[in-house]
Structure 1
Amino acid sequence: MTLARSLLDKGSRHVAAVASDEVFPLHFIDRSASLRNPVHVSTWYFNDVLDGDKLHQSLDHLLHLGDWKKLGGRFRLDKNGKLEIHVPEQFTSDRPSIHYSHKSLPMRAAEHPLAGKIPKASSRPSFHPAAEEFLLPLTTRPGMPHNMEDYLSSDEPLLSLRVVVFLDATIVSLAWPHAVMDAMGMATVIQAWSLAIAGMENEILTIDGVRDDLLYQATLKPAAEKFALEPYMLIGFRFYLLILRFICDILFGGRRENRIIYLPQKSVQKLHSQAMCEINLHKNEPLKISRGDAILALFSRSLVLAQKRPLLVVVPMDLRSRLRDIFLPSMSYPQNAIQGGHFTVNADETTTKSIGHLALAFRQNIIQQGGRQQLLAMLRCNRELSDSGGDPATLYGPSNAVIMSATNLNKANLLSIPNFSPAVVGARCSEEATGSPGIPSFFNTSHSKIAWRRGNVLMNLGIDQDGGHWISGSFNIRTWKYVEESLKDL
């Protein structure tokens, strides 16, 4: 009988608590319904042979340092049915800090029927099938958790590391539950892991905020401003109307395709320059649009042209960089610390506004909603909803809108932060390999299972060492046609 089975409560599929475990709470943002179930698989492709055991040992070592051990815990429910994390008193072979699996294949990556499909950088904008549609058999393992119920009914640790080694390349995948941290939080783990591999333990930042809910505490103080979007909160009938339309869009909105796009640096520069010219902005003026703003505007415009309805763009905003008095730069915060920025694009704006003007509108909204007082006001609204039994990840906008989730991971630097060069074994075998040894050439993140149907999703995955942008998206065919048309001259 396995340890997990011996821990099962009679009459329950959930694993019982171990009395000696140390208990860590989840925070109020973690309890959002949209964060509870997703298990993400973040995957990096290296043009190097890496020592998988060294990667595992260094990550395991990190989770033995102070409160980093929280990430080696297990999900449990308290007596009131609320999620919490239970960390073993000692990590053992029966109850390890992470689940590690390793596979060595005696072939080059390009010869493998799945790994050979991993997209490569190109000199022109290029479209590729979504990586999860062919990579998941390589990057996941049988029996791994795919949702919260899987975690609660097993003694699985929160993190799963899988390393697949070819003769000339390595695929490294880390599976992690969204209920514990967001992508920026995961980036802090990768940064600390890279330092651990290099033996630079003294430079690893101390983890903070694992016991105290820093954001909850911040919302208990009187708000200096009212949240500007509070009148547009989608609750009650308006929320159910939005969800009904969302379901109809999924079911009857036409065939959807998940794709990855590579935009070389020169194409992104051209798009950005055109957008800047359209709004007559110059580099010496205080208000600028970013390249990410221009990319977001291009996809938003394409979606509205295809759907001919208002668009509600929801952009996760990282709070670590915006609330510096709460999240100290000298500490590490692998947790959920995001709030959604909400931007509405009316259907008629696609005919009256250029990509540049839409990008400027996005930037102005980010500046307004991302200011300290507005963030605290939004957090206060969402915390009060959570206290009353509601969902702290509320939407704000028109109930007849098409929804697009747009995440920009460029700040997370997930194509440059991983530095696994101390784990490189031997010299490179591939003449086509570019970039520095131990630095990935491709990154992707997805759910651990392919969703039957997805909404409209845009994700800037990151910028490679040549300045090219990797982007993933899920849209219907009509929207992709507008995207292709917009990119053809870049």
Structure 2
Amino acid sequence: MDYLFGRSRPAVAVVPSDRVVPLHFFEDSPLVQGNNMAVSLTFDAVLDPQKLRLALEGLVQQPGWERLGGRLRKNATGTIEWHIPAAFSHDRPAIAFAHVDHGVTAAAHAAARNIRLPQPSRVPAVVSNPDDFAHLAWTPGYQPGGIKDYLGTDGVDQPVLGLRVNSFTDTTVAVLQWQHVAFDALGMQYVVEGWQAMLWNKPDAVPTPVPYATDPFASLARGDDDGEDKEDHVLLDRRAGLAGMVKWGLGYGVDMLLRAKDNGMVCVPASFWQPQYEQALAELRAEAIAQGTDPAGVFLTENDVVTAWIMRCVVRLQTDARADRTVSASIAMSLRKAFEGDGGLLPPADQHHPYVGNAFGWSNVLVTAGDVRDRPLSWLAREVRRAINAQGTRAQHKAYFRLVRSAGTGLPVVVFGDGNMTQVGFSNWSKAGLFDLDFAPARQVPVAGSAPCRPSYVQENHGPIKPVDGFFILGKDAKGNYWASAYKLKGQWARLQEMLEKEFGEAQPEQK
């Protein structure tokens, strides 16, 4: 009866020859299952969509990579599992694929839709709304619904990995789509590097991943290997109590689920961040000398400075925030490096068996709004670096997941701070090297010499979970510009642009 009235559709039949594998610990979470991901790589060249497809399909068919061609199904008890075809075919392909030939230039397409093509800026600026280009990332009209879109309950046998190629007469936008259970940001690095290797006809350069049949992080989830040398988490005394969690969670949940939001992309040009980075190092080295310590020990990354600057932007928009209001920055961290090698859960890095999945923890920076607004950027960047260094060890990750187990929320997240805090999230994709990809073999019209074909612009779209001020730092382009996107409450991106224009003057598109 439900089927007759359209309330449900037949599920895809289970294929007996499929290899059935349970979800791993990090895959079995609403935080992961609640997001379908799409990363759009824009190339200023016309690329052959079939070469892109065949290369990605070829990667999925390499030994150990078959899971990325898997399907997701619920078993009789309602538990989601991987169903991995024994062999891929025309009827059950390794990836979902779509090609759209728009037949015009990218600029003409944008003008017809009354949207602005993203361009680098000379000063920090809000340059676009990535959702304006969601029709390129997904089938027009599609609204991501999370993992349910992949469970085969609508009669569609959907691989977990997809490719959508948008062809223009001067540009190609290649969109990698996946359900988040497949991999995280560093897992994406291995995927796009393997895709590139296959495109260059170098299958021998593709490493064999850690086997997916068993979960290497299961013991972390259970706490089997805590050992006698376990230590407390460095922020144990800052863990939010029940009342604080409820108060913060209600406010943050209303912002995320009910209030209107805008997506925005900010460009942080090299002409801005590079002097800020050099000044931060100089200030911290001078401070070290004044304190009688070795200035050679001062270390910051470019991303530390970019992260600190974004935190400052978020807080400066909150003009009514008290100086003592807590600001909490949660920075996603890959667990791979900490758990590689002796006594770890993964093979040593030099064995070249990457873990292509989800393996993430968090470092948390707790400061005050007054400090963020008033102290030098060097101070805040150092706080970011200190948190990553202190909380990124194997022992600290174990301590973090002991707190996760004790919380019993079903989420791989612990809340530090208090009920009134400002929350900012960061997922840094710089290591994925998206702007460094070279897809030259896919050019339809070869160019003289060995000029690379790299993305000029990268963006991501995701849903349905869209936390406010959850920033994706997408990386650094060939000109040294950093790009970062996030959802903010409706109107705040416009306010941020006004603030930036007052500080730097009106941003103008960079001349190509």
Q: Does 1:238 align with 2:260?
A: no
Write the distance in 2 (CA, Å) between the matches of 1:421 and 1:199. 12
User: Tell me, which stretches of 5 or more residues in structure 2 are unaligned?
Assistant: 289-293, 508-512
SS of residue paired to 2:328: strand
Q: Is the 8 A contact 1:74 1:85 kept in 2?
A: yes
Of the three residues 421, 429, 444, the one matched with 2:440 is: 421
1:264-283: CA deviation from partner (whole Å, max 9, x where unpaired): 22211112123334434589
TM-score normalized by the length of structure 2: 0.83
Shift of 1:183: 1.4
Write the distance in 1 (CA, Å) between the matches of 2:264 and 2:285. 33
Q: Does 1:468 align with 2:481?
A: yes
Shift of 1:195: 0.6
Write the distance in 1 (CA, Å) between the matches of 2:12 and 2:243. 38
Q: Percent identity?
A: 27
Shift of 1:234: 4.5
Q: Is the 8 A contact 1:314 1:406 kept in 2?
A: yes
Q: Is the 8 A contact 2:468 2:486 kept in 1?
A: no
SS of residue paired to 1:35: helix
Write the distance in 2 (CA, Å) between the matches of 1:145 and 1:74. 17
* Alignment match, 2:510: none
Q: Does 1:92 align with 2:89?
A: yes
Of the three residues 197, 208, 225, the one matched with 2:231 is: 225
Q: Is the 8 A contact 1:32 1:393 kept in 2?
A: no
TM-score normalized by the length of structure 1: 0.87
Amino acid at match of 1:141: T
Deviating 4+ runs (over 6 angstroms): none
In the TM superposition, what are the counterparts of 1:76-225 in structure 2 within 5 Å? Answer: 76-113=73-110, 117-131=116-130, 133-141=131-139, 146-152=145-151, 153=153, 154-218=156-220, 219-223=223-227, 224-225=230-231
Cα 1:380–1:115 shift into 2, 3 Å: farther
Shift of 1:242: 1.4
Q: Is the 8 A contact 1:109 1:115 kept in 2?
A: no
Shift of 1:46: 0.4
1:410-447: CA deviation from partner (whole Å, max 9, x where unpaired): 1221111x221111111469xxxxx9442111111121
Amino acid at match of 1:425: Q
* Alignment match, 1:289: 300
Of the three residues 277, 280, 283, the one matched with 1:275 is: 280
Write the distance in 1 (CA, Å) between the matches of 2:329 and 2:160. 30
In the TM superposition, what are the counterparts of 1:366-405 in structure 2 within 5 Å? Answer: 366-383=388-405, 390-405=410-425
Shift of 1:486: 5.5
Of the three residues 423, 426, 430, the one matched with 1:406 is: 426
In the TM superposition, what are the counterparts of 1:320-469 in structure 2 within 5 Å? Answer: 320-325=336-341, 326-327=345-346, 328-329=348-349, 330-383=352-405, 390-416=410-436, 418-427=437-446, 436-447=451-462, 454-469=467-482
Q: Is the 8 A contact 1:26 1:180 kept in 2?
A: no
Amino acid at match of 2:456: S
Cα 1:209–1:479 shift into 2, 3 Å: farther
Shift of 1:317: 0.6
Cα 1:227–1:465 shift into 2, 3 Å: same
Q: Is the 8 A contact 1:78 1:84 kept in 2?
A: yes
Write the distance in 1 (CA, Å) between the matches of 2:375 and 2:275. 19
* Alignment match, 2:58: 61
Amino acid at match of 2:424: M
Cα 1:18–1:234 shift into 2, 3 Å: farther
Cα 1:378–1:14 shift into 2, 3 Å: farther
1:425-470: CA deviation from partner (whole Å, max 9, x where unpaired): 11469xxxxx944211111112156x7x741122211111121211
Write the distance in 2 (CA, Å) between the matches of 1:439 and 1:115. 27
SS of residue paired to 2:296: coil
SS of residue paired to 1:348: helix
CA RMSD of aligned residues (A): 3.0
Write the distance in 1 (CA, Å) between the matches of 2:27 and 2:236. 21
Write the distance in 2 (CA, Å) between the matches of 1:251 and 1:28. 25
* Alignment match, 2:263: 258
Write the distance in 2 (CA, Å) between the matches of 1:235 and 1:67. 43
Q: Provide the aligned length of Structure 1 versus Structure 2.
A: 470
